[in-house]
Chain A
């Protein structure tokens, strides 16, 4: 099954650039649908990246992060072929995770 997460981690010198795109509605809870009813808030609250069991980056998100969120960061200390694990948790308790190899 297709994952909600797409991640690209590329080693560039001694830093690894990590770009992530997640499929998620990121509903604010302030918008009405075509029938005039409020769409309940549904958004990712936490997103974390682990390398060798250590958290290398963690995001805390509110409703103002765009739909289908994108985030980019970079960290040091990884080698080509290492694995990076991405996980998210939303306000309804749903989660997803994905492990990708550093290229």
Chain B
């Protein structure tokens, strides 16, 4: 990971630099929206700190999940770059309120959690890091119950190097 610095690194640094300047500039002007969030919009800090999948699911949802064939988890069989693994989920379950992604073998199992208000389509696509070959679990909370779909993704180069 450290031996392959090329022109792209320089470009990245420049982009980062521009980003940082933009952030400093905007920092004061955009502090507005966050205090307005309701209490149930709180960041689930505890769940993101759990190392294994079971503990993370317990901390986030506090209930057991059952496998459902109404959830379609789309992830590659083999990921050549664990740093960027495209993973998406769609479901035909109704009354979906939340969708989360767990990567069982990552240092911290919970990767991302999405809240789905009424009127929003129960489907999410994102890109996750995977440290090594692992099960990916998509969790869908629907009608107060927790459902899941699991798929193994083989990783040839781990994603820890970012």
Contact = CB atoms under 8 A, between A and B. Distances in A.
Contact of B30 (A27, A31, A46, A96): A96
Given A57-B115, A96-B23, A31 B162 contact: yes
Most chain-A CB neighbours within 10 Å: which of B25, B128, B130? Answer: B128
B106 A57 contact: no
A2 B23 CA distance: 10
Interface in A1-53: 1-4, 15, 23-28, 30-31, 34, 45-46, 48, 50
Contacts of A48: 33, 37, 41
B108 A63 contact: yes
Please classify how large the interface on chain A is, using the bins under 10, 10 to 19, 20 to 34, 35 or more. 35 or more
A62 B119 contact: no
B91 to A, nearest CB: 13
A97 interface: yes
A23 B160 contact: no
B27 A65 contact: no
A89 interface: yes
Contacts of B43: 45-46, 60
A103 interface: no
A58 B115 contact: yes
Contacts of A45: 43
Contact of A59 (B112, B119, B160): B112
B84 A57 contact: no
Interface stretch (B11-19, B64-72, B137-145, B146-154): B11-19
Contacts of B129: 26, 28, 63-66
For the complex of A and B, the 5 pairs showing the least CB-CB separation, nearest first, are A64-B111, A72-B125, A74-B121, A66-B127, A62-B48
Interface of B: 2, 15-16, 18-19, 21-23, 25-27, 30-31, 33-34, 37, 41, 43-44, 48, 83-85, 88, 103, 106-108, 110-117, 119-121, 123-130, 159-162
Interface of A: 1-4, 15, 23-28, 30-31, 34, 45-46, 48, 50, 54-67, 69-77, 85, 87, 89, 94-97
